[in-house]
Structure 1
């Protein structure tokens, strides 16, 4: 179980959330929405699944955080 730090974020990323279905952390440019048991991005802006960091053990629904 490891969570990325904001120093690991792409320059454009403003949001970070655990993806429970894939088991990794995802960076988002625009705030994603929680729907149907997962995070959905707004189709405007970038997103990136960061496979360097496992989201195992994190509750996806409560994992969303904004860049400090």
Structure 2
């Protein structure tokens, strides 16, 4: 088994574990300024990775919606 095949299997296993934990994969395009802001937050130690920063931002937006007063 070559390195690429090993890497592909490892990524597939990681995806499967995340799905089993209730996570869903999605692709999002972000503006360069947004990416720079995420990288600055990572550099400050607020997040470890871009994935963590994006997950926090998305979850925060929808958790805020859950707690909003119904109209």
TM over 0.5: no
TM-score by length of 2: 0.24
TM-score by length of 1: 0.25
Bigger helix share: 2
| Larger RCO (CA within 8 A; separation ≥ 6) | 1
Q: Rg: which structure is higher?
A: 2
Bigger strand share: 1
